[in-house]
Every structure is written in C-alpha cells, then in structure tokens.
Structure 1
Amino acid sequence: MVSEHQSQAKQPVSAALAGPYGHPFHPILVTVPIGAWVASLVFDIGSRVSADPAFLTRGAMWLLAIGVVGALAAAMVGFLDLFAIPAGTRAFRTALVHMTLNLLVTGAYAADFAWRHAAGPAPRVGTGMLALSAVSLAVLGVSGFLGGRLAYRYGVRVADETTQAEGYASAGRPQRAGTAR
C-alpha cells in the first residue's frame, strides 16, 4: 500500500518543467555533466601521457564548462523533484545531502574551469587541477549513489507498482490485480 507521502513524492510539482508522471527530466539531464566530467578526467590523464597534449588540455577545460552548464539545468529540475518530497522524511534528508553534494561538485568544477582559464594555454593539465577533478568526480559518485537511493529505494518520481505492473501484463490480456504471471 502506498502512503500519502510516497504518492506525493511520485507526482511532479510541474509536469511541464520537471517531466510527467513516471518520466522525470532530472535523471535524463544528469547524463550531460556526468559524461562531460568523466571525459574531462580522461582528457586530463591523457594530457599527462600524450606526446601532443595541448588539444586534450583545451578539451578537458571545455568539457568542465559543458558539465557545469548541464549540471545547472539538471539542478533546476532536481529542485522541482525535491519540492515533491515531504519534509521530515528519510527521503527528504537524503535528497538534501544529494543536492548539497551536487552543488559542491558543480562549484568545484566551475572553480576548476576558472582556474584553467586564468592559467592560460598549458601543454599539460597541472597536478592540482587533475587532483581537483578526480576528487570532484569521486564526490559526484557518492551523490549519484544517493540519487539512486532516492529513485530505486524510495521511489521518488518513479511510477507506483500498479502502474509498473502494466508493463508485465501479457499482450492482449489484462492482468487481474494481485496475480502474478
């Protein structure tokens, strides 16, 4: 049985902005910063071992910027998902930690971009810049784990079991409630 709190956390605050029921936009948008920041770290490492590292160094810097822009877009719809979670619940506390870590990581990557931009063209990514990217990515991994907990354990913005059961009904035959096939 779904509680009132669970039902509330599954519904979008604004379907037009946060995604319709069962199709939130936040998990779709987070792929942009995650992909950009992982690729940036790969480029950083590549710049340390390549004979011609300048293009990797520039590419890493711009991947940081793409990730920050993508993270801001994901955060905007993530805030809307946060507003759907009832305050005072374990899911809400988890969401606050998830949000805080994401904001810290985004700030760290923005600072990393500014640092690299201010340093000007460099043949290789500096050790401090590489370390900042690696630590930021590790913290992002922790935050992603918490985001997974929100969706897969607490069911935030995930369709309820009755709706999910529609996908398991045999084609052409409606499934009776309470039966498993």
Structure 2
Amino acid sequence: MAGTADEKTTGGAASTPPAPRTLTGRAVPSAVGPADATIDTPESPAEYIGRARAKRPRIALAGPYGHPMHAVVITLPIGAWAASVVFDIIAFFVDDPSAFTLGAAVLVAIGLVGAVVAALLGFLDYSQIPAGTRARAVATVHMVANLLAMLLFTVSLVTRWFTGLDEISVPAFVISLVAMAIVGGSGALGGELAYHFGVRVADEDEQARIFGARRR
C-alpha cells in the first residue's frame, strides 16, 4: 500500500523518489498523493511537477507539508501593525496620548521584527514556484507589496522617533495607514496564492484521504 505524502517526507523534504504517476498517458515522478493515483489533465509533465513542487516545503524550516510556517508567522506583523493604528487613533481623543503613542511605536517595531521572519519564510515558499507561471507573477507582486509595506512602517517608526515617542505624529499615522492598506491588498494576493493556485496546500488526493477521517 502506498504511503501518505507526510510519510514520504523527512523534515519537510522528500526522502526517496516515490513511484511514478500517470499524466495524460505518460509516467512522471509523483510529488504528492498515492503512488497508484492517476491524473487526467491537459497540463504537461513539467507543469504538473512544477505545480506539485510549489506545494512542498523547500526545507524543514518552511514548515511541514500542508502546514506552511509563513501563514502562521505573518499573523504577528499584521496584528501588531493593525493594533498600532488603533493606538494612534485613540491617541487623538485622549488628554494624555503619550501611553498610546509609545505603544503604537512599540507595536510598529514588533511588527517589523515579525515581518522580517515572515518574509524569510515566505521567500522559501516563493522559491518553490516555477518561474514564468501566473502563480509566480502573483507571488512576486505579493512579495514586493509586503516589502514596500515594511519600508513604509520603517519610515513611520523613524518619524515617530524624531517627533518624540510620547507625542502624536500625524505624518507617521498617515504613513502607517497607507502601509496597512498595502498589507491588506497583499494579504488578498496571499489568499489567492493559497486558495486559487494551491501554493503550499496539500494536494486533492491528500485532502480526500484525511477530510472525512475521525480524529483519534
């Protein structure tokens, strides 16, 4: 009996080449799913292998098959930056805004640290997507948008520093709003990569195998 995709991996990477799968009448190396599965699709063997590779982690650090770490870590900068905007807004309506302006600056800094880690993990997934594909193009825009947001939040933090961390900085607030809007748009692209293109998402054979399984 063929092993599962997770059983064929060691530390997130394939240990031994699995049995071939049939693709439009041609045998190609299987990257996901049972070895005896067949696929009836017009895509070429190279396209299939490239799509299957995009579902796999490049190294163990990127997270195991079906559990990408980028999707986990990215919640830290998004949450921190969103909270910083809320703190900025509150600062406009209180008598002593120093606690909220300082808190906003700290949250921006925390978000930047988390964003660096998320970017490194995201690049590992990005490197698995074949060049010249639509998925790679969307991933490139997603990456550039995230880097731009990181740059803007860095500018926002520096602006706060020179204005005074205990004082309201309207320019820093506006920059953060623009950066947050970019993060939102980039997040939509990230969702498209996962839910439309299936990047780092378990293949349908694996989904079918575990979807109705009861937790022990």
| TM-score for both structures, normalised by structure 1 | 0.89
Distance 1:82 1:121, change over 3 A: closer
The structure richer in strand per residue is 2
Q: Deviations over 1:89-119 (max 9, x none)?
A: 0000000000000001001101111111122
Shift of 1:163: 0.7
Q: 1:80 aligns with which of 124, 147, 150?
A: 124
Q: 1:96 aligns with which of 133, 140, 157?
A: 140
- Matched residues in 1 for 2:202 and 2:169: separation? 46
- Matched residues in 2 for 1:46 and 1:74: separation? 28
Shift of 1:49: 0.7
Structure 2 letter corresponding to 1:74: A
Unaligned runs of 5+ in 1: 173-181
4+ residue runs over 3 A deviation: none
Distance 1:37 1:121, change over 3 A: closer
Higher relative contact order (CA 8 A, sep 6+): 1
Match of 1:112? 156
Structure 1 letter corresponding to 2:119: A
Query: What SS is found at the alignment partner of 2:58?
Result: coil
Q: Deviations over 1:135-178 (max 9, x none)?
A: 11001100000000000100000000111112323549xxxxxx
Count of residues in correspondence between the two structures: 170
Match of 2:56? 11
Match of 1:135? 178
Q: 2:206 aligns with which of 155, 163, 174?
A: 163
Match of 2:8? none
Identity rate of aligned residues, in percent? 47
- Matched residues in 1 for 2:200 and 2:55: separation? 4
Q: Deviations over 1:2-36 (max 9, x none)?
A: 8222101001110x210111011000000000000
Q: CA RMSD in A?
A: 1.5
The structure richer in helix per residue is 1
Larger CA Rg, structure 1 vs 2? 2
- Matched residues in 2 for 1:28 and 1:142: separation? 18
| TM-score for both structures, normalised by structure 2 | 0.75
Shift of 1:130: 1.2
Structure 1 letter corresponding to 2:206: T
Structure 2 letter corresponding to 1:28: V
Match of 2:20? none
